[in-house]
């Protein structure tokens, strides 16, 4: 139901003030509208979630104060979701495209994709088909704490926790509406999946992380962006000017990186046009554009088509890990949205974490190059306040974010994939642990404190 006009007017009034460049009124209004159609489409047709509950949990808190201006409708027959802003001022339609996930229809859609038969996996089973209830009271208590809601303040809305020790699930729990076989959106944990796909390319000899990035728009050696390497993109030190993705709230409709993901059919093409504002390797700025460019590199090196890149990701990574329900969504060009849009079950995310716990090996087969896991978890200079590695967050430092997390109970050797609003795959080599937590947390640290506590309690429980 739309907001009363007296509430809607202030929102609409600010849009003409930004009618230039990336801050055009249509694109700003289009960002929350495309966001809604895309996310609702994915939640319903990829995740199998209840649309009303998902909108309440995930969309409404992120679109304040314009939530009341957004209307949406699920068309199950056409496998699509339409959304509109301010009574139809801006409209958006996202369609489900099978293995490609959902795509906002902006006049261009990639060709359909048919995945090849699954490659047999040598990965050991991590659990049977049933939910693994903890036998240890200490683990049960840890799960209780992870799912408990605070008496006051922002909600945590934990949806799934999976704890893997020595390669087996020893405890897990799911909120109503979620289950062992239901994919969940990993948000920026997808950046760590892109890290893995890059690692596979390096192992196959198809990519040099230290050479100039193969981005055609920067091919001229006098271009200041020519010296940007895949490594500097992965470590968020490209020096490109395309906003930031460290924080997320409704005000980011005016941020170019938010518009890039939800209001552009060619996300990596938009990122490739960004200007340099610092020399490569000099400034750390966490931004989706870096990983979107890497996603296009993965697509090009894998064969250049939506079919080829999806086949590559499944054949070389997902199938070998034994992941059962991964969906790596793409933009309208067929390029993976490798910065933010993979859906997978909580167990699948745990299987992904096991790849890094086991130094890039699965069932005796090397998937990632030797030394790649250490490279990924190595602190990026300049990121100390956050504690960031190469596509992963890391505790391998003694100051800043790492020191804070260590004080909360996350071991010093831990590193983790992290997505907005509390998505985590935590790898703790010293204790042979992988911990997955997923949900919709809206506290200031987005459930980081809760994950620190969960890790601390699990480490004590397993000894």
HEC-encoded secondary structure of 37-94: HHHHHHHHHCCCCCHHHHHHHHHHHHCCCCHHHEEEEEECCCCEEEEEECCCCEEEEE
Predicted pLDDT of residue 209: 98
Q: Are residues 205 and 252 in the same domain?
A: yes
Of 98 and 26, the one with more pLDDT: 98
Local confidence band at 317 (pLDDT 50, 70, 90 cut-offs): very high
353 within 8 A of 423, measured Cβ to Cβ: no
The Cα–Cα gap between 105 and 263 comes to 10
Phi, psi of 201 (to 5 degrees): -60, -40
Q: Do 49 and 70 belong together in one domain?
A: yes
pLDDT (average), residues 131-147 = 98
Bigger pLDDT: 361 or 67? Answer: 361
Query: Residue 249: is its pLDDT beyond 90?
Result: no
In this predicted model, which residue has the larger pLDDT, 204 or 26?
A: 204
Mark whether 381 and 435 lie in a shared domain.
yes
Confidence grade of residue 304 (pLDDT, cut at 50, 70, 90): very high
Question: Is residue 140 over pLDDT 80?
Answer: yes
Query: pLDDT at residue 253 above 80?
Result: no
Whole-number mean pLDDT of the chain?
A: 91
Is the pLDDT at 252 greater than 70, yes or no? no
**The pLDDT of residue 7 is above 50:** no
Binning pLDDT at 50, 70 and 90, where does residue 359 land? very high
Cβ–Cβ < 8 Å for 436, 346: yes
pLDDT class of 3 with cuts at 50, 70, 90:
very low
Q: Which two tokens stand for residue 459?
A: 């480490």
Tell me the mean pLDDT in the region 247-272. 74
Same domain, yes or no, for 178 and 83? Answer: no
Please give the torsion angle defined by the CA atoms of residues 384, 387, 392 and 396, in that order, rounded to the nearest 10 degrees.
100
β-pair type (393-394, 365-366): unpaired
Residue 324, pLDDT above cutoff 90: yes
Strand partners, 102: 96
Report how far apart, in Å, the C-alpha atoms of 323 and of each of 20, 122, 257, 354, 374 are. Answer: 44, 12, 30, 11, 23
433: CATH: 3.30.450
pLDDT level of residue 239 (50, 70, 90 thresholds): very high
- pLDDT bucket at 260, cuts 50 / 70 / 90: confident
Domain assignment present for 107 = no
Query: In angstroms, rounded to a whole number, what is the distance separating the alpha carbons of residues 42 and 2?
Result: 23
In 3D space, the residue among 122, 118, 119 whose CA is nearest the CA of residue 362 turns out to be 122
**pLDDT at residue 248 greater than cutoff 80:** no
Task: Write out the residue range of the structural domain in which residue 249 sits.
Answer: 189-302
Structural domain count, the chain? 3
- Per the CB < 8 A criterion, the answer to whether 299 and 66 are in contact is no
User: For a pLDDT cut of 90, what percent of the chain falls above it?
Assistant: 82
Residue 137 pLDDT > 50:
yes
Torsion sign over Cα 439, 35, 416, 453:
negative
Q: Is the pLDDT of residue 15 over 50?
A: no
pLDDT at 153 (0 to 100): 86
Structure confidence at residue 242 (pLDDT): 85
Q: Are residues 193 and 293 in the same domain?
A: yes
The domain boundary residue, chosen from 266, 282, 302:
302
- ∠ Cα 403 405 407 (to 5°): 70
> What pLDDT is attached to residue 29?
64
Q: Quote the pLDDT of residue 262.
A: 82
Q: What is the pLDDT of residue 32?
A: 84
Q: Is the pLDDT of residue 143 over 90?
A: yes
Same domain, 389 and 449: yes
Is residue 310 in a domain?
A: no
CA 395 from centroid of its chain's CA atoms: 19
Do 82 and 149 sit in the same domain of this protein? no
Q: Model's pTM, two decimal places?
A: 0.94
End-of-domain residue from the set 302, 318, 348: 302
Q: Could you report the per-residue pLDDT of 170-190, keeping only the tens digit for each?
A: 999 999 999 999 999 999 999
- Find the mean pLDDT for residues 203-214: 98
Mean pLDDT, to the nearest integer, of 85-90? Answer: 86
Mean pLDDT to the nearest integer, 360-389: 97
Are 253 and 166 in a shared domain? no
Could you read off the pLDDT of 387-428 as tens digits, one per residue? 999 999 999 999 999 999 999 999 999 999 999 999 999 999
Reported confidence tier of residue 291, pLDDT bands at 50, 70, 90: very high
Domain co-membership, 198 together with 271: yes
In this structure, the answer to whether residues 215 and 290 fall within a common structural domain is yes
Q: Within a domain: residue 281?
A: yes
Q: With bands split at pLDDT 50, 70 and 90, how would you rate the model's confidence at 30?
A: confident
Residue 326 — very low, low, confident or very high, per pLDDT cuts 50/70/90? very high
Q: What percent of the chain has pLDDT over 70?
A: 91
| pLDDT above 50 (res 192) | yes
Sign of torsion over alpha carbons 438, 132, 359, 335: negative
Do 311 and 115 touch, CB atoms closer than 8 A? Answer: yes
**CA nearest to 404, candidates 429, 379, 386, 391:** 386
323, 348 Cβ separation under 8 angstroms = yes
Residue where a domain stops, chosen among 302, 317, 346: 302
Predicted local confidence at residue 27, as pLDDT = 63
* Helix (H), strand (E), coil (C) string for the chain: CCCCHHHHHHHHHHHHHHCCHHHCHHHHHHHHHHHHHHHHHHHHHCCCCCHHHHHHHHHHHHCCCCHHHEEEEEECCCCEEEEEECCCCEEEEEEECHHHCEEECCCCCCCCCCCCCCCCCCCCCCCCCCCCCCCCHHHHHHHHHHHCCCCCCCCCCEEEEEEEECCEEEEEEECCCCCCCCCEECHHHHHHHHHHHHHHHHHCCCCCCCCCCCCHHHCCCCCCCCCCCHHHHHCCCCCECCCCCCCCCHHHHHCHHHHHHHCCCCHHHHHHCCCECCCCCCCCCCCHHHHHHHHHHHHHHHCCCHHHHHHHHHHHHHHHHCCCCCEECECCCCCECCCCCEEECHHHHHHHHHHHHCCCEECCEECCCCCHHHHHHCCCCCCCCCCECCCCEECCCCCHHHHHHHHHCCCCCCEEEEECCCEEEEEEHHHCEEEEEEECCCCCCCCHHHHHHHHHHHHHHHC
Q: What is the CATH number of the domain that holds 223?
A: 3.40.710.10
């Amino acid at each position: 139901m739309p907001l009363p006009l007296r509430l809607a007017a202030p929102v609409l009034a600010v849009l003409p003030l930004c009618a230039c460049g990336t801050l055009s009124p249509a694109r700003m209004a289009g960002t929350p509208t495309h966001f809604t159609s895309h996310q609702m489409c994915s939640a319903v047709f990829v995740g199998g979630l209840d649309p009303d509950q998902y909108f309440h949990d995930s969309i409404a808190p992120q679109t304040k104060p314009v939530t009341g201006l957004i209307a949406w409708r699920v068309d199950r027959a056409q496998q699509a979701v339409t959304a509109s802003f301010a009574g139809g001022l801006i409209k958006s339609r996202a369609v489900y495209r099978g293995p490609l996930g959902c795509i906002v229809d902006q006049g261009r859609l990639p060709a359909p994709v048919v995945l090849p038969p699954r490659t047999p996996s040598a990965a050991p089973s991590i659990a049977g088909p049933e939910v693994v209830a903890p036998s240890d009271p200490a683990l049960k208590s840890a799960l209780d704490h992870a799912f408990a809601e605070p008496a006051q303040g922002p909600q945590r809305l934990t949806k799934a926790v999976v704890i893997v020790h020595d390669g087996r699930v020893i405890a897990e729990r799911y909120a109503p509406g979620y289950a062992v076989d239901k994919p969940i959106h990993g948000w920026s944990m997808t950046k760590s999946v892109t890290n893995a796909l890059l690692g596979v390319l390096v192992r196959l000899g198809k990519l040099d992380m230290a050479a100039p990035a193969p981005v055609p728009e920067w091919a001229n050696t006098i271009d200041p962006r020519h010296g940007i390497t895949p490594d500097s993109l992965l470590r968020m030190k490209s020096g490109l000017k395309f906003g930031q993705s460290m924080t997320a709230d409704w005000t980011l409709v005016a941020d170019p990186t938010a518009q890039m993901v939800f209001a552009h059919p060619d996300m990596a093409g938009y990122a490739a046009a960004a200007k340099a504002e610092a020399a490569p390797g000099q400034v750390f700025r966490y931004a989706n554009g870096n990983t979107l460019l890497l996603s296009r590199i993965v697509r090009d090196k894998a064969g250049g088509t939506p079919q080829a890149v999806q086949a590559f990701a499944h054949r070389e990574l997902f199938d070998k890990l034994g992941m059962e329900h991964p969906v790596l969504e793409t933009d309208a060009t067929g390029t993976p949205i490798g910065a933010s849009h993979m859906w997978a079950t909580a167990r699948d995310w745990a299987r992904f974490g096991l790849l890094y716990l086991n130094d890039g090996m699965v069932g005796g087969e090397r998937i990632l190059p030797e030394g790649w896991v250490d490279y990924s978890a190595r602190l990026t200079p300049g990121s100390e306040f956050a504690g960031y590695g190469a596509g992963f967050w890391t505790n391998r430092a003694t100051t800043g974010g790492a020191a804070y997390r260590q004080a909360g109970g996350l071991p010093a050797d831990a590193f983790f994939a992290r997505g907005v609003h509390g998505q985590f795959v935590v790898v703790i080599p010293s204790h042979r642990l992988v911990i997955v937590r997923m949900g919709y947390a809206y506290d200031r640290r987005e459930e980081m404190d809760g994950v620190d506590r969960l890790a601390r309690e699990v480490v004590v429980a397993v000894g």
